[in-house]
Amino acid sequence: MRVSWVVVAIAVGVAGAGAAAAKLPPLRDPVFLNIGFVCQWQNRCMDQQQRAMKRALSYTRKATPPSWKVHLCNRRAVQRRSGRVDWISYNNCIRNPNVQRSTAAR
């Protein structure tokens, strides 16, 4: 009887370590899921997206761009088919001083 408890304890320990090593995406974090789907779960791409997101958010907190520019850059950053935000293109757009408001939107 004691041998079976030892085997069960070892099996639970191994299963727990294997699950942690698999690094499944957290289903409760929509930003991480969005970046994961945009990058197809490639680590280098996900790191670039997260850096761009942090830079863009800190820029908008400090510079407070006009709302039309935020909306325009959001529309430009959304991927056409999936509707997911590409943070690198949003960061490039929001920091670009040459982005102009269209005459139709005024």
User: Tokens representing 15?
Assistant: 């299963």
Top pLDDT among 97 and 14 is at 97
Domain range summary for the chain, segments of one domain joined by +: 28-95
Quick: pLDDT tens for 9-39.
Answer: 455 554 554 444 445 556 778 888 888 888 8
Helix 87-95 with 43-63: angle, nearest 10 deg:
30
Task: Reply yes or no on whether the pLDDT at 106 is more than 70.
Answer: no
CA pair distance 79, 85, nearest whole angstrom = 6
pLDDT in tens, 37-90: 888 889 999 999 999 999 999 999 999 999 999 999 998 888 666 678 889 999
| Summary count for the chain: helices (H), strands (E) | 5, 0
Task: Please give the backbone phi and psi of residue 82, each rounded to the nearest 5 degrees, phi first.
Answer: -95, -20
